[in-house]
Structure 1
Amino acid sequence: MNSIKYDPETDAAYLRIQDGNYIESEEISDGVILDYDENDNVIAVEFLGVSTLSPSHWQKLQSQLPAIAYGQLQAFFANPIHA
C-alpha cells in the first residue's frame, strides 16, 4: 500500500505506509510528521519543506519507519537520504 505523493509547488510529500484509521499525528522533527492509527502503528509520514530537511531528520525517521518504506523514500527523492 506504500505510495508517495510529492507537490513541488509546496515542497511537501506524503508517504502512505499502510491502511488504517488515522487517530493522531506527531511531529518527530521540524517538517516530519508521523500519522498513527488506533494501535499506535505509523500509517503515514508527511514531509514539509522536503528540500530543506537535513541528514539528522532522515536519521530520526529511519528508526521510526519499516525498512521497506524508508527504502522507498531513498529511491523516490533525487537527493540520497543519509543513514
Structure 2
Amino acid sequence: MSDITYDLEADAAYVRLADGRVASTEEASPFLYDLDVDGLILGIEVLGATRTLAPGPWRHARLPGSSRADTAE
C-alpha cells in the first residue's frame, strides 16, 4: 500500500511504498530513496516536485506528519 504526502513549503512529495525502518537514504537528484537494512526501497522523496512531476492529485496530498484521517474530513 502506498501513501503520498506533499509539503508545499519544501515543494517535496513523498511516496511511502512499504512500512519498515529506514536504515539509509540514497540520493539520485531530484530523488531521495529511503532504504531498509536489505537495501529495499521503502519510500521515495521528490525534491522540486512542481518542476519534476506532471500535474496531478499528488498536489493535494496530505501534509507530512498529518494522519490520513485528518484529510478524510
TM value normalised by structure 2: 0.66
Give the greater-gyration-radius structure (CA).
2
Give the Cα separation in 2 of the matches to 1:50 and 1:4: 12
Taking CA–CA contacts closer than 8 Å with sequence separation of 6 or more, which of the two structures ends up with the larger relative contact order? 2
More helix by share: 1
> Could you tell me how far 1:75 is from its partner in structure 2?
6.0
Give the Cα separation in 2 of the matches to 1:36 and 1:22: 6
Which segments of 5 or more consecutive residues in structure 1 lack a partner in the other structure?
56-73, 79-83
Give the Cα separation in 2 of the matches to 1:52 and 1:24: 26
Residue 30 (structure 2) pairs with residue 31 (structure 1): yes
State the superposition RMSD in angstroms.
2.4
Amino acid at match of 2:51: T
Match of 1:49 in 2: 48
Give the Cα separation in 1 of the matches to 2:18 and 2:45: 14
TM value normalised by structure 1: 0.59
> Could you tell me how far 1:31 is from its partner in structure 2?
2.0
